[in-house]
Amino acid sequence: MSKNHYHILQINSNATAADIKKAYRLLAKRYHPDYNPKDETASEKFLEITIAYETLSNSSLRTAYDKSLWGASTNANNINVDYYLHVTSNASIVKCCEEFELTFTYSGDGRYLKKPPLSSFVTASKPYVDFRLVNIKGYSVKETCITYTLSAPVPGNFKIGAASIKIQNKTFQSVPLYITAEPTTCFLYR
């Protein structure tokens, strides 16, 4: 089974063309084989990113891909609605102690979300929960977003594991995210 293009680019299914381009540029720069000559998986990862970008940046290819990707289920009103879970970050490379946002987005509300442990990070605030209506295939769908503001207390590469959610006895899982915290100089403590 091929990987989800949205997960590969670390974006959600209602991302704009600008979001897709920005995600592609960031990841392509990070995984380009010329910048990672010792990483044997960089070429494969770069190819995945390029294929995902080429598919999602072309509107007709994206429409066809979306139709093949999202398995539809039926809600109480007999309207076909896509069920999904996306985990995104507004940055994949941050400075040590710099804040970034991690957002869990899923269809519906009141679902039980099992988030991955975030113990490697400092939580800068309480999670922000937002409910909004989005248009999926011409239908208005209620979407829930839970956003955490985090920071990495030390430099390094961090993996944020997969989150999961159960909807109508079916488990949906996100893909892991990777955050790189680069060293920085703090001028407050000398």
Query: Alpha carbon of 65 to those of 70, 156, 180, 185: distances in Å?
Result: 9, 35, 30, 45
Answer for the pair 170, 82: CB distance below 8 angstroms, yes or no: no
CATH architecture, domain defined by 76-184 = Sandwich (2.60)
164 contacts 173 by C-beta, under 8 angstroms: yes
Q: Which CATH fold would you assign to the domain 1-69?
A: Helix Hairpins (1.10.287)
- The edge-to-edge listing of strands for the beta sheet with 113-114 is 113-114, 164-167, 170-173
pTM, two decimal places: 0.57
Please compute Rg for the chain using Cα positions.
Answer: 18
Give me the residues of the chain with pLDDT under 70, please. 1-3, 67-82, 109-111, 136-139, 168, 186-190
Which pLDDT belongs to residue 73?
37
pLDDT digits (tens, 9 = 90+) for 55-101: 899 888 887 777 666 543 333 333 334 677 888 888 888 898 899 99
What is the C-alpha to C-alpha distance for residues 68 and 102, in angstroms, rounded to an integer? 28
Domains 1-69 and 76-184 belong to one CATH topology: no
Signed CA dihedral, 105, 10, 90, 137: sign only: negative
**Where are the domains positioned within the chain?**
1-69, 76-184
Question: In this structure, are residues 55 and 62 in contact, taking their beta carbons and an 8 Å threshold?
Answer: yes
